[in-house]
Structure 1
Amino acid sequence: MSDTKKPKCCRYCEAPAQLLNFGQAGYPYRASYGPTWVCVPCAAWVGCHPGTTKALGGLANAELRGWKIKAHAAFDPLWQGKMRRDQCSKGKARRAGYKWLAGQMGMPVDKTHIGYMTIDECRRVVEICESVFRQP
């Protein structure tokens, strides 16, 4: 397993993140998550890309994880629609989607990723993406 994108510390308490696996002390999550970066005192966590120890984003508490789920539920259908419509790869469609989202949010593309967003940024993603579906 590669260890290329380790969260340095918890965004809530600044404690160092620990890489835990199912069955270890402090790891209360289902086995299907695989290796997970955890801040045990805050119960903030983030899963890893399959087969790696590379974090999928930043450590998140339950509230932020909920908003990330909502943001993905609003954003993912847009790039998935592009993938089907333009018959392009998943990677190309996601990159185009994040480029569009960065423009909508006034953020640099390299800083626009739901996995690293705050609650307020996730709320904004939901608003922006839902407005696309409301347009006539």
Structure 2
Amino acid sequence: MIDYLSGRLVFKDPTYVIIDVNGIGYHVKISLQTYTEIKDEEQIKLLTFLHIKEDAHTLFGFKQADEKRLFLLLISINGVGPSTGLMILSSLSSAEIEHAILAGDVATIQHVKGIGAKTAQRIIL
């Protein structure tokens, strides 16, 4: 629906940014991976995913396409919602996640806050 946002970085926090796009401030949740890549850019472009629930519309932003792709794969797993997917991306790098999945390393994925053994096993499958 909203594939990306490009505009002026107004505010940056480790969990979200505010991007001014033609006078409209968008609140976008981000991972720590994206936070470290943004640095102090004045103009910014983030790839986005809009999650719509009955009580909220939430934008999630990603600096790199592979991070967004991995996020979309994670949230397609039963028991992994957008907040959990973002927590996984904040705790492990994309390469670490992919390596843990390919190696069947449940323990690494289970170290993420809020991920139990069953969810870690579903992520690997």
TM class by shorter chain equals: 0.3 to 0.5
Task: Choose between structure 1 and 2: higher strand proportion.
Answer: 2
* Rg larger for: 1
Task: Choose between structure 1 and 2: higher helix proportion.
Answer: 1
TM-score, normalised to structure 2, is: 0.37
TM-score, normalised to structure 1, is: 0.35
